[in-house]
Amino acid sequence: MAEYDVKGVHHLGFVVHNLDESLKKWEALFGVKAEICVKPELNVRYGALDIGGVTFVLNESTKAGSRWEKFLEIHGEGLEHVALEVDDIDKASEAAQAKGFELRFKEQKLIHGLMTNFVEDMGVTDVEFMGPAKEQ
Q: Name the CATH topology of 6-131.
A: 2,3-Dihydroxybiphenyl 1,2-Dioxygenase; domain 1 (3.10.180)
**pTM of this prediction?**
0.86
| pLDDT tens, residue by residue, 1-33 | 678 999 999 999 999 999 999 999 999 999 999
Distance CA 95, CA 4 (A): 8
Report the pLDDT value the prediction gives residue 93, as an integer from 0 to 100. Answer: 94
Question: For 81, how many CA atoms within 13 A lie in the half-sphere containing its CB?
Answer: 24
Residues belonging to the chain: 136
Residue (of 17, 62, 56, 58) closest to 44 by Cα position: 62
Distance CA 115, CA 129 (A): 8
At residue 55, what is the residue type? Answer: T
According to DSSP, the β-strands at 54-61 and 6-15 are: parallel
Asked if the model's pLDDT at residue 133 lies above 90, the reply is no
Report the pLDDT value the prediction gives residue 135, as an integer from 0 to 100. Answer: 65
| pLDDT tens, residue by residue, 85-124 | 999 999 999 999 999 999 999 999 988 889 999 998 887 7
